Amino acid sequence: MKLVQIGTIGHYAYALATAKKYGMDFAGICFPDAEDRRERPMMLLSRFGFAPKVYEDYREMLAVEKPDIAVINTVMADNGKIAMEALKMGISVFCEKPVATDLKTLAELETVYYNMKKKYEGEKNLCFTGMFGIDYLPHFETAYRFVKSGSLGDIRLANAQKSYRMGNRERFYSDRARYGGTIPWVAIHAIEWIERIGGLRPISATAYASTACNAGNGTMEASTLCIFACEGGRMASVSADVMRPKAAPSHDDDRLRLVGEKGVLEVRGGKVIVIDDEGERELSLVQTETELFEEFMMEIEGKGTCRVSAEDTFFATRTALSARESEDTGITVQI
């Protein structure tokens, strides 16, 4: 199986261990934006034993190499349009999130994906997924399995948090039009948890955000809050920020709280805590047998199903972009 990479702003490293494990042909790489770093990614690829040909034009690379998979993670505002070009050529896409930075592009991307999937049916299994690799960490996998076992019953309320250190960001993060905004960039992880793990289906969004205390990063929102009305009278909230102190023990602080008819589950500090009729206890963590990109590859080959589906990716993106629209307009937005 052959793959190429377009851009280096994101989690392309998710693909490397699997590509090496299965002896995949890492045929080409392209840096479409001036802020796509070159030196460090090429050194990393070399450590994995890859020496892809460097192309100046990703369209030429796709046409010449005809890969099975395109790993796409350049500046967020460009990912969706590049993904559509690859899909139209029958190339499966492993894409950084957000996979689109506006609802129009997202709708076009969904249409292209489903049309191309149907077009190539019988010839190949065309696949698409977002880079939600955090889902495969043991604490989130443990929470997912516990919830899907029915042990919490009907989940009525969800609260989720995604917090990062600011760090030293590339210039484009100072321009919301280029990186998409902090809700589609950061909050989308927590949105995806309440949807995929909690099973909640948001139907409207009310959101708030502020650029205050953003360390001089232009129009970047440093703090955000989303409130979702969900199907069946359920509800959820998501907070996301890039204000985690430098001295914090980790780069990120991920939390999820699900309130069900049979108990409460909390993910915090890499642990999963459950409170129910048996009292409070910490669940033993489940180690995942496969990683995101490996499952993605196996789905393309017809040997399995990727836990993070195209539908999951599109739904989380649509929810995040609707929340950002609420942030901008000051009104509740129907999803």
Q: pLDDT digit of tens for each residue in the chain (335 aa)?
A: 999 999 999 999 999 999 999 999 999 999 999 999 999 999 999 999 999 999 999 999 999 999 999 999 999 999 999 999 999 999 999 999 999 999 999 999 999 999 999 999 999 999 999 999 999 999 999 999 999 999 999 999 999 999 999 988 999 999 999 999 999 999 999 999 999 999 999 999 999 999 999 999 999 999 999 999 999 999 999 999 999 999 999 999 999 999 999 999 999 999 999 999 999 999 999 988 899 999 999 999 999 999 999 999 999 999 999 999 999 999 999 99
Cα-based angle 103, 227, 183 (whole degrees, multiple of 5)? 45
pLDDT of residue 151: 96
Provide the whole-model pTM: 0.96
pLDDT of residue 288: 87
In whole angstroms, what separates CA 80 from the centre of its chain?
A: 13
311 and 182 Cβ atoms separated by less than 8 Å: no
122-165 tens-digit pLDDT: 999 999 999 999 999 999 999 999 999 999 999 999 999 999 99
- 107 SS3 class: helix
211-233 tens-digit pLDDT: 999 999 999 999 999 999 999 99
pLDDT of residue 124: 95
pLDDT of residue 167: 87
In degrees and rounded to multiples of 5, residue 229 shows phi and psi of -85, 135
Whole-angstrom distance, CA of residue 128 vs CA of residue 189? 17
188 and 164 Cβ atoms separated by less than 8 Å: no
Whole-angstrom distance, CA of residue 118 vs CA of residue 135? 28
Residues forming a β-bridge with 225: 208, 239
The tokens for 237 are 């909230």
pLDDT of residue 71: 98
Burial class (CB within 10 angstroms; exposed 0-12, middle 13-18, buried 19+) of 252: middle
pLDDT of residue 117: 97
In the sheet with 252-260, reading across from the earlier edge strand, the strands are 279-282, 271-276, 263-268, 252-260, 155-165, 235-244, 223-230, 202-210, 333-334
305-332 tens-digit pLDDT: 999 999 999 999 999 999 999 999 999 9
- 162 SS3 class: strand
Peptide bond into 41 cis (omega under 30): no
